[in-house]
Chains A and B, each alone.
Chain A
């Protein structure tokens, strides 16, 4: 599974994150609490921290 930070909202928060081909809006504070399944066959990119 790939998590990709697409962009930030104009005011800096929330973030638009793409995974599984869908874009989800997520706040920074909550993005930090994501539980990510790190399977061997799925490269993972963590959302860039500002």
Chain B
């Protein structure tokens, strides 16, 4: 969605977590993801914003940043967008600067840096509701005058307050083209900046803007110099002497920029904010509890355990309803299809059996996303990163790796994208490499199926939830040493700084949390309707054909005394066994034999490489087809509970022994079975090398660990 090429372009810029995306959504009517964690937006998103007077502009939502001295790739996105540096993109015509109204001084530092770009600017003081609650009163007119007449608007983007004023302010800024007042540099710094601009211009033949000159002089990273094509050997000497000049005037060149900006901002803010009576924030009190030395980690573990237990128990009822619905549908649809056995099997076993088996897990996935949304929106997520930083730093990562890893429990793809907030490229790579180990929601169905069919009935509900939690930890247990080896020995990551803002706590906003849950659910369902559906049909067809009528006749003549029911089941089983899928599964089965997988599970495992949740629907197809095509009691669980080895040394014993059940779950916990994850990993790490490495490593590891589990447990039980 973007306006015509000739339209005006406006960028939303501000510190992380100030409400840029919330404002973007309010201005464009779109639904970008928001969350109470610094670093939710990691790439640019655009939409059309109506200015209220019929004029439309293209608005871009950008990641948050604290300073124009960019370090991480998400911050670089902003720098590039502001300089029009992205291929095919223009420099914005104006900037909407979003600042946290409760924290003007620190937020205005970035505004003051952006002012150096000379673009028309609107200053939005967001979260006015919180400021009001804290008893802060802000004189926007005074501030506007102090900042050179730029429109200053108080908003509460989340409540939709002040949005028309922002539209008007933007129209005004675009027509009057008022830039924000620039900082007045002390003479020697101004001189040093002029020296740098002159030297760079002479070497590169380009005109050097004031903003670029500042980046060249003040930043230790070389991104601006590289963009301008100013080589290291050419820039080294002039930069050194310019920094020397700054130092001689009494400023540390690395600190001069913030010092000068802050000094002048303090003057500009004098008398702008008056503090009245207000409620002190609850954040400090809550933190005393949640970040307590002893209670903190205990509560952390408690929250995580409670989370998995509740996902499991709350979802039980809706899951049963969905199962009933699927069974009922089969009962209605299958009998009329009796004259057409192939069609009947396609509908009952293929479509309803496969897709139904998958859809049953929708409630659990909804609750999972609900919970992650609540954690994030409440502000706890950043605290979790704080608590975990020490552990992470031990394996060469930092607390910022925690959020990608935790959200990896929902889905690896957004988590891989969120690694962009990590500054150090090697640490980012290591984090991205271990994110797929996190037990994503697509693994949930197989754990849940196995637990409900075997662990629960055999050992009781206590063990059922414990195994469930345990399975979610398996990936983590292997991720830690993997990260350790990767960061210490392979990549040799240098210890990196960890600075993370801990946002204030807030009541999770049902609208945002539910919206996110809804979006994820919609994605899940649409996947069920497309990818899973397609794979299900293919698996069904491969296990239905070829269908040689002589097979049925042979079995009937071999078992003349058996009841018609029993013979029918034998015939179905024989058909599956001699189908393409059966033959293929049997050929490959020896590879998985040490893991205790029969050929049907092998088929499931192979079909799950593009998307691991396919295992459930594949088992649904292979086991229900083998069980006889009557539409009643097509319960996959029962079919699996009754499945026995038909040949070999294990003949007669159940296929799904405890050892095989655990081995199967562990295999799915560790194996790399997700096409989109591999593709995203390749995209985020800049090539197929790491993606391929991840695939080979995870799959091999899964086989070895799963084999060990099977071999050990089978001997103990």
B473 within 8 A of A: no
The digit string for A1-33, where 1 denotes a CB below 8 A from any CB of B, is 000001111111110100011111111011000
B90 within 8 A of A: no
Q: Are B499 and A30 in contact, with the CB atoms below 8 A?
A: yes
Which residues of the partner chain B approach A27 to less than 8 Å between Cβ atoms?
389, 393, 497-498
Q: Are A16 and B259 in contact, with the CB atoms below 8 A?
A: no
- Chain B nearest CB from A19 CB (Å) reads 8
Given contacts A25-B502, A35-B254, contact A16 B102 (CB under 8 A): no
B83 within 8 A of A: no
Q: Are A23 and B502 in contact, with the CB atoms below 8 A?
A: yes
Q: Are B387 and A10 in contact, with the CB atoms below 8 A?
A: yes
Which residues of the partner chain A approach B501 to less than 8 Å between Cβ atoms?
22-25
Which residues of the partner chain B approach A25 to less than 8 Å between Cβ atoms?
382, 385-386, 389, 399, 498-502
The digit string for B468-507, where 1 denotes a CB below 8 A from any CB of A, is 0000000000000000000000000001011111100000
Bound CA–CA A8/B297 (angstroms): 13
Contact of B291 among A16, A22, A29, A35 (CB under 8 A): A16
The digit string for B100-118, where 1 denotes a CB below 8 A from any CB of A, is 0011011000000000000
Name the interface size band of chain B. 35 or more
Which residues of the partner chain B approach A39 to less than 8 Å between Cβ atoms?
263, 266
B284 within 8 A of A: yes
- Chain A nearest CB from B686 CB (Å) reads 28
Q: Are A37 and B262 in contact, with the CB atoms below 8 A?
A: yes
The digit string for B277-300, where 1 denotes a CB below 8 A from any CB of A, is 000000110011001111011000
- Chain A nearest CB from B526 CB (Å) reads 38
B712 within 8 A of A: no
- Chain B nearest CB from A5 CB (Å) reads 13
Q: Are A22 and B387 in contact, with the CB atoms below 8 A?
A: no
Which residues of the partner chain B approach A8 to less than 8 Å between Cβ atoms?
293
The digit string for B382-401, where 1 denotes a CB below 8 A from any CB of A, is 10011101110100000100
The residue on B at minimum CB distance from A42 is B266
B651 within 8 A of A: no
- Chain A nearest CB from B18 CB (Å) reads 11
Which residues of the partner chain B approach A12 to less than 8 Å between Cβ atoms?
390
Name the interface size band of chain A. 20 to 34
The residue on B at minimum CB distance from A33 is B497
Which residues of the partner chain A approach B263 to less than 8 Å between Cβ atoms?
37, 39
Bound CA–CA A9/B393 (angstroms): 13
Q: Are B297 and A10 in contact, with the CB atoms below 8 A?
A: yes
Q: Are B386 and A16 in contact, with the CB atoms below 8 A?
A: yes
Contact of B386 among A14, A22, A30 (CB under 8 A): A14
The residue on B at minimum CB distance from A29 is B495
- Chain A nearest CB from B259 CB (Å) reads 6
Which residues of the partner chain A approach B287 to less than 8 Å between Cβ atoms?
6-7, 16, 23
The residue on A at minimum CB distance from B106 is A20
The residue on B at minimum CB distance from A14 is B389
B252 within 8 A of A: yes
Q: Are A14 and B399 in contact, with the CB atoms below 8 A?
A: yes
Which residues of the partner chain A approach B283 to less than 8 Å between Cβ atoms?
23
Which residues of the partner chain A approach B105 to less than 8 Å between Cβ atoms?
20
The digit string for B510-554, where 1 denotes a CB below 8 A from any CB of A, is 000000000000000000000000000000000000000000000
Contact of B284 among A6, A14, A29 (CB under 8 A): A6
Q: Are B255 and A35 in contact, with the CB atoms below 8 A?
A: yes
Contact of A10 among B106, B293, B502 (CB under 8 A): B293
Bound CA–CA A13/B254 (angstroms): 26
- Chain B nearest CB from A13 CB (Å) reads 5
Which residues of the partner chain B approach A7 to less than 8 Å between Cβ atoms?
287-288, 291
Bound CA–CA A38/B499 (angstroms): 21
The residue on B at minimum CB distance from A23 is B502
Bound CA–CA A10/B383 (angstroms): 11
Bound CA–CA A35/B252 (angstroms): 10
Which residues of the partner chain A approach B390 to less than 8 Å between Cβ atoms?
9-14
- Chain A nearest CB from B307 CB (Å) reads 19
- Chain A nearest CB from B427 CB (Å) reads 14
Task: Tell me the chain B residues, 548-607 only, with Cβ under 8 Å from chain A.
Answer: none
- Chain A nearest CB from B186 CB (Å) reads 15
The digit string for A31-50, where 1 denotes a CB below 8 A from any CB of B, is 00001010100000000000
- Chain B nearest CB from A24 CB (Å) reads 5
The residue on A at minimum CB distance from B389 is A14
The residue on A at minimum CB distance from B498 is A27
| Residue among A9, A13, A30, A37 having the largest count of chain B Cβ atoms under 10 Å | A9
Bound CA–CA A4/B371 (angstroms): 32
Bound CA–CA A25/B37 (angstroms): 13
Bound CA–CA A8/B382 (angstroms): 14
Bound CA–CA A20/B699 (angstroms): 49
Q: Are B386 and A9 in contact, with the CB atoms below 8 A?
A: yes
Given contacts A10-B291, A10-B294, contact A21 B102 (CB under 8 A): yes
The residue on A at minimum CB distance from B134 is A21
Bound CA–CA A21/B284 (angstroms): 11
- Chain B nearest CB from A12 CB (Å) reads 7
Q: Are A37 and B259 in contact, with the CB atoms below 8 A?
A: yes
Bound CA–CA A5/B116 (angstroms): 34
Bound CA–CA A10/B612 (angstroms): 37
Task: Tell me the chain B residues, 254-268 only, with Cβ under 8 Å from chain A.
Answer: 254-255, 258-259, 262-263, 266
Which residues of the partner chain A approach B102 to less than 8 Å between Cβ atoms?
21
Q: What are 22 pairs between A and B in contact, CB < 8 Å?
A: A7-B287, A9-B386, A9-B387, A9-B390, A10-B292, A10-B296, A11-B390, A14-B386, A16-B386, A20-B103, A20-B105, A20-B106, A22-B106, A24-B500, A24-B501, A25-B385, A25-B386, A25-B502, A27-B497, A30-B497, A37-B255, A39-B266
Taking A6-B284, A14-B389, A37-B258 as given, write out 7 further A-B residue pairs in contact, using a Cβ cutoff of 8 Å, ordered by the A residue number: A9-B296, A10-B292, A10-B294, A13-B389, A20-B105, A23-B502, A30-B497
